[in-house]
Every structure is written in C-alpha cells, then in structure tokens.
A and B are shown apart, each in its own frame.
Chain A
C-alpha cells in the first residue's frame, strides 16, 4: 500500500518568507509526527497529533512554527518568516496504535533551504 508522502521534496526559499510543508500519512493511521533533521542537532521531535489534536506543542522551536491536521489525515507544517537556521530536512511519520510495535512509518522528507 501507499506509504507516507510529503511535499514538496525540496523547497528553497528566501529568508523572511513563509513556507508550508505537507504530509499525507498512511490511511488509517491515527497518530502523526513531525521531526526535523539537521547536521548539528540530529533528529528533533517537533509535534505529535492524535487525530486532529496536538496535546503538546512544546517541541516546536519557536512561535514561527505551527502545524495543523485536518480530517484526521493530512497535516501541514507552516514556518513563518523563515530564518537560515530553519534549513533542515523535515520528516513526517505516522503510526497505527493497534499494531504490535506501534512503529512509526516515515515519509521521504522535505529538504528546506533558506537562503
């Protein structure tokens, strides 16, 4: 079946612009996660959704970052007024709570470059 998809795969933007990153989870997966992967910081957790709700937004690095999930499916991560330190690969993952391991399935990521 289809895996987690993310778009765009690459995004180059200028400092100060807003960007939107999209994640389509595996159908039926109720949990959705966003992570950021950069050379200096490794893999950082950003936010978790159970259905459309995000119980904890403390992983978001600043108030320029926001995320939403609609219909228990697609999620959008928005970064306002981008800064060069936002350059990273943004990974989305989803999971199904009923599985034996509840492992997270990852998408291919969006590589964001802020000039």
Chain B
C-alpha cells in the first residue's frame, strides 16, 4: 500500500521568500503519480502540481515547483516568492490503484503561514 509522510505540521515564511514543504512516500510500484493540493480556510482542495515517476524533469507550475528525488522517495514542494494568499494547508498525495479501485492517499498535511 502507498504511504505519504509529511513531517512538518506547521511552517512559517516571510512574504516574498521561498519555502519548501517536505513529502516522502513509500510504494513498491514502479509507475506512480504524486500530487500536491492546497486547502485554504474555505475548505476546497485545489490541485497545484503533478509529478510522474517516469518524468525526467521536475514539475513546475508558475511559482510552484517540485523537488523530486526518486532514489530518496521524496517529492518536496517549493513555493517561490510567497504571497499572503499562500497561507493554507498543503497536502501531498499519491495515486493508488488496488482491486479495480482508484484513490488518492494523502499525507497529514502542512499548515503554511505567510507573514507580512
């Protein structure tokens, strides 16, 4: 079974600085996909970025990039030039296929606070 570990319950960053949110994963699959979602206080989960296990380059989407280290089984999210609106919960997730079913397995999340 897939497992996602996020070891930082909370992180603080100054506005305009970069921040890295950690994510490690455990899987025996050779092909897999990793996701990061943002959950603001409004509650809706917002897809940020995706990394496939066979992707040769680290994924980037605007101010978001993924530091993917396959051998270490880590997929850290880097947010550059933090903004006040980045304050939210961030979840790392992995797609899991089992028994004909598909789901996302989530980590516990990291609460990011951006200070002015």
Contact = CB atoms under 8 A, between A and B. Distances in A.
Nearest to B42: A108
A26 interface: no
Interface stretch (B18-26, B71-79, B96-104): B96-104
Given A33-B103, A48-B102, A55-B101, A103 B45 contact: no
Contact of B50 (A55, A56, A103): A103
A9 to B, nearest CB: 9
Contacts of A111: 43
A70 interface: no
Nearest to A93: B45
A105 B108 contact: no
B103 A48 contact: yes
B91 interface: yes
B35 A31 contact: no
Contacts, number: 57
A100 B52 CA distance: 10
Contacts of B12: none
B44 interface: yes
Contacts of A42: 106-109
Nearest to B46: A106
B88 interface: no
Given A42-B106, A43-B91, A45-B105, A56 B44 contact: no
Contacts of B45: 91, 93, 106
A77 interface: no
Contact of A104 (B42, B44, B104): B104
Interface of B: 33, 35, 37, 42-47, 50, 91, 95, 98-109
12 contacts: A42-B109, A45-B104, A50-B102, A55-B100, A55-B101, A59-B103, A102-B33, A103-B35, A105-B47, A106-B45, A106-B46, A109-B43
Given A33-B103, A104-B47, 12 more contacts: A33-B104, A35-B104, A43-B106, A48-B101, A55-B101, A59-B101, A59-B103, A89-B43, A104-B104, A108-B43, A109-B43, A109-B44
Interface of A: 31, 33, 35, 42-43, 45, 48, 50, 55-56, 58-59, 89, 91, 93, 100-109, 111
